[in-house]
Amino acid sequence: MKTSNIDINPASKYTLGTMSKAHIGLTTKDLSIAQAREIAKTYVLHLAEVMDAQIERNNASGQNCASIDLPTEFRSVSGVAPRDMQLLVYTDLIKLYSQPITMGGKGFEDVKYDGHDISKPKLDVRWQIGLSAAERESRMALLMNASIGGKKN
């Protein structure tokens, strides 16, 4: 039987603070869910294409909302349970649509997950058509200020 040549002497020249990664070997960071996140990203990109197409169709017909069915069956990836994979996909998709454009999102202010029927979860997105409330108020004030008999500056 072959034995290892590991020096377990506490006075060994390697202490935890001075060991390089090559000496430490496998760490918990190496066991991360990076592969699962990449697969979740693929799901999200596909679902975003479907949602974007639905948004374009609905917006062109004068609607201000769109909804897509979300997948319910996920496979286990790198030890990540299907339920956790589902959670990654759903939350990443919600973040994509709800985060401001300046933060890499799509900037929709009304993004909802509809999970009432667990066999048919949906993502609902709504958007403003026409003037926002703030813009409408600003323009009304301008109009009133410019009206005959309106406010005087």
Nearest to 64 by CA among 55, 77, 76, 52: 55
Per-residue pLDDT tens for 94-127? 999 999 999 999 999 999 999 999 899 999 999 9
- Which residues pair with residue 97 across a beta bridge? none
Full-prediction pTM beyond 0.75? no
Say how far apart CA 102 and CA 42 lie, in whole Å: 22
* Report for 22-31, 63-72, 137-146: range of highest mean pLDDT: 63-72
Average pLDDT over the chain reads 84
Query: Which is nearest to 112 in space by CA: 87, 129, 88, 94?
Result: 94
Between CA 103 and CA 4 the distance in angstroms is 52
Exposure class string for 65-97: b at 16+ Cβ within 10 A, else e: ebbbebeeebeebeebeeebbbebbbebbbebb
Task: Give the least confident one: 4-18, 30-44, 119-133.
Answer: 4-18
pLDDT for residue 69 is more than 90: yes
